[in-house]
Amino acid sequence: MTDVTRPPRSTTPMAPSERLSAALAEADRAFGPRTDSIGPVDGCTHCFDAEHLRTIGGPVDDIPEWLFSRALGKWGTTMDADSRLWRRLTPRILREMTRGTLHKDESLMARKFNEAGWRDWPPRETAALEDVCHAWWHAALAGMSQGSAVTVLGFVVPLTGGVQPWLDRWDTHQDRAAALQLRDLWQSWMPELLDGRLDVSFGGEGPDIAASVSTWLLQQSPERLDLGGFNAQDRYGLHLLALTEAQRNTDPGSSEATTTVRP
């Protein structure tokens, strides 16, 4: 057999958007083609007719968008919490969620992945899910994702049970795109952080991440705040975050700073 010379692999690092595309492609491979049928799924016949249940158990990409969305919402409630079915749906869930076309709350999807026992899935499948999470996170921080950092955290924090690893990775992104995401997070979560409790899970069953996020925010440099476009009100809110409740009550202008303002 004649040896075929293969071109050398590129050593150029992938852009975050390319890494996300590669991670989604690996998820497709890891979970299999899903073009077969597993038969009708078990579900409430008031919510779905027999044909709908057969379609949901058929080739995943043939499920109409409206029925796919309905199946995700009903899975584990009026549809049997079948982890085999959820695993079949996973690549499409991830693809649509990262593209902003799923139209389902990210924290609800995280809850359902946990209910499906994703950590006990075959190793290649769990690795593919984790890789999509990391790739989506880096794409969001680079401004190359349909989802903001706040959106991605709404999925990965309840999915993994913690926020600190994601904040640590954020610190490796020191460019303007990541700094702008920092300001968006502060403006989105400022009221909850000032109140001292923040749970981004769907039903309040997740960890309280207020202390971790607050500590991290207060460690950000003035230069990074400048890069993110923090205005005077944003900075005053951070000033209040560093104070005790008693100190805030005597600080002039504190009531105005708790109102989020976007330019």
Place of tokens 């009531």: 255
For the chain, percent of residues with pLDDT exceeding 70 = 92
pLDDT digits (tens, 9 = 90+) for 24-53: 999 999 999 888 888 889 998 888 999 999
pLDDT, position 172: 95
Q: How far is CA 252 from CA 150, 187, 196, 231, 247, in A?
A: 30, 20, 20, 18, 10
Look at the chain and count its residues: 263
Average pLDDT over residues 197-223: 96
pLDDT, position 246: 86
Which stretches of 12-109 are assigned E, i.e. beta strand? none
CB 145 within 8 A of CB 20: yes
CB 11 within 8 A of CB 105: no
**Which are the contacts of 24, defined by CB distance < 8 A and separation ≥ 6?**
91, 94, 95, 98, 132, 135
pLDDT digits (tens, 9 = 90+) for 114-138: 999 999 999 999 999 999 999 999 9
- How many CA atoms lie within 13 Å of 178's alpha carbon, on the beta-carbon side? 19
Res 11 pLDDT > 60:
no
Confidence of residue 157 (pLDDT cuts 50, 70, 90): very high
Buried (b) or exposed (e) across 165-187, using 16+ Cβ within 10 A? ebbeebeebeeebbbbbbbbbbb
Res 203 pLDDT > 70:
yes
**Which are the contacts of 191, defined by CB distance < 8 A and separation ≥ 6?**
258, 260
Instruction: Please state, rounded to an integer, the average pLDDT across all residues of the chain.
Output: 91
Residue type (1 letter), 84:
R
**Of 96, 25, 36, which is closest to residue 60 (Cα–Cα)?**
36
CA 151/CA 186 separation, integer angstroms = 13
CA 181/CA 128 separation, integer angstroms = 25
pLDDT, position 46: 86
Res 91 pLDDT > 60:
yes
CA 47/CA 166 separation, integer angstroms = 38
pLDDT, position 186: 98
pLDDT, position 8: 52
pLDDT, position 252: 76
Q: Where are the domains of the chain?
A: 29-104, 132-263
pLDDT, position 255: 54
